Each structure stands twice: as C-alpha cells, then as structure tokens.
Amino acid sequence: QLRLVESGGGLAQPGGSLTLSCDDSTFTLGYYTIGWFRRAPGKEREGVSCISREDGSSFYADSVKGRFSISRDNAKSIVHLQMNNLKPEDAANYYCAAERFTTPQAMCSGDPAFATWGQGIKVDVAS
C-alpha cells in the first residue's frame, strides 16, 4: 500500500530556499500523479504544484509560479518541490498526495478525493 513520507521542511528566511521531498517505500510512485498541497492556519488548502505520472507535465498555483519547481524520479520513487525566493506567506504545512487517473491541473485545482496523503511537513518563513 502506498505510504508517502515528506521531508525537507523547516525554517527559511525570506528570499531563501527549501527543497521538499516525497517518497514512498513501496517504489510505486511512478503509477501516480503527485501533488504538493499546503494549508496555513486559518486558510483553505491550496494545490501548490502537481506533476504527471510519465511526461513530467506540471501545474503551478499562481502564487508560486516562477519560484517553485516540481520534479520526479520514478526510478527512485521520489518527488521534489524546490522552493526558491520564499515569502512569509509560503509558511504552511505542506502535504504530498498521490492520485491515479488524473491530470496535474485537475488534481491541483480540484479536490483529490481519492488521493493518498502524507502526514505533512511544516515550512516556516521568517527572519
């Protein structure tokens, strides 16, 4: 059974960078569209970035375009979210999710009701 584990969170200064990783010990991430979502206190969940299963096509929320980059290595069953030029409003709990038979835009823009979720990891952005 798919089990997602996020890593790489922590504290960064404004303008700094962090790289989040999502991996799965069953080595089956390659069968799924993968997405990164975030939820800040008092705010709704936001689809940050999602990446397709095979061709690497991706979707980014307007709030992170040009700053965040998603990538995957199916052989290693891992997905990365490179976050550059971090802003205080990027602070949130970030969650990795995996879902089949969907597109990056559909997954990030909608409600991935059939997704498997990781436990989440905290990202703080402060001086």
Q: Using an 8 Å Cβ cutoff, are 73 and 10 in contact?
A: no
Q: For residue 118, give the nearest of 8, 24, 19 by alpha carbon.
A: 24
Q: For 6-48, how does the pLDDT look when each residue is reduced to its tens digit (9 = 90+)?
A: 999 999 999 999 999 999 988 899 999 999 999 999 999 999 9
pLDDT band at 112 (very low <50, low <70, confident <90, very high): confident
Distance CA 59, CA 81 (A): 12
Greatest Cα-to-Cα distance within the chain, rounded to the nearest angstrom: 41
CA 74 vs CA 12, 30, 35, 46: distances in Å: 28, 5, 14, 25
114 pLDDT exceeds 90?
no
86 pLDDT exceeds 90?
yes
The pLDDT of residue 70: 98
Q: Using an 8 Å Cβ cutoff, are 2 and 28 in contact?
A: yes
Looking at residue 111, its amino acid is D
